[in-house]
Amino acid sequence: MTNVTRRVPFVVALACFLSAGASLAATGLWTPTGVHGVVVYLLDGKWEEVTPGQDLAQAKLRTLRSGRLSLTGPSVTLEVGPNSALQLTMKADGSGGTVEQYLGSLNVAAQKANAGLIVRAGKLTLSGITGEVLVQVAGNSTSITVASGTAAV
């Protein structure tokens, strides 16, 4: 009985340590917070459905006609509209990332100045995004609307 009593606090402490480590590691990732309709990502050459809470360090994503996706990253929120195609990468240290947008609409909300995000859409590259920016890509056309804050093009 004494052995069991000593092990329980150790097991609880170990579980707390491991869960804290996992949440610290997850801070440098893109995390889907809302998935509506069909949203898929490329995994080993096959398209798989995205699930809320799934951590993505990098991913090729596609929303279909009814698809919408909300993602959070370090100090940034992304809202991806229907019929969109993009690729996400995150810096190894989690300090920022890059979004390559090929098609569709992307709303970027940076919660702090210089969140470290770069958005490449068509022939344009946006950096230093603060506030809220809407980027739309259709064919050879790219449209950028700065709803609030600033962005360097």
Residue 20 has pLDDT above 60, yes or no: no
Query: Which one, of 55, 63, 76, 62, lies nearest residue 119 by Cα?
Result: 76
Residues 2-7: contacts with CB under 8 Å, at least 24 apart: none
3-state SS of 32-56 is EEEEECCEEEEECCEEEECCCCCCE
- Cite the DSSP H helix spans in the chain: 2-26
CA atoms lying within 13 Å on the CB side of residue 132: 4
Kindly state the average pLDDT of the residues 139-144.
Answer: 94
Whole-number percent of the chain with pLDDT over 70:
81
Kindly state the average pLDDT of the residues 113-125.
Answer: 88
For residue range 87-118, list pLDDT tens digits in order. Answer: 999 888 877 889 999 999 999 999 877 678 99
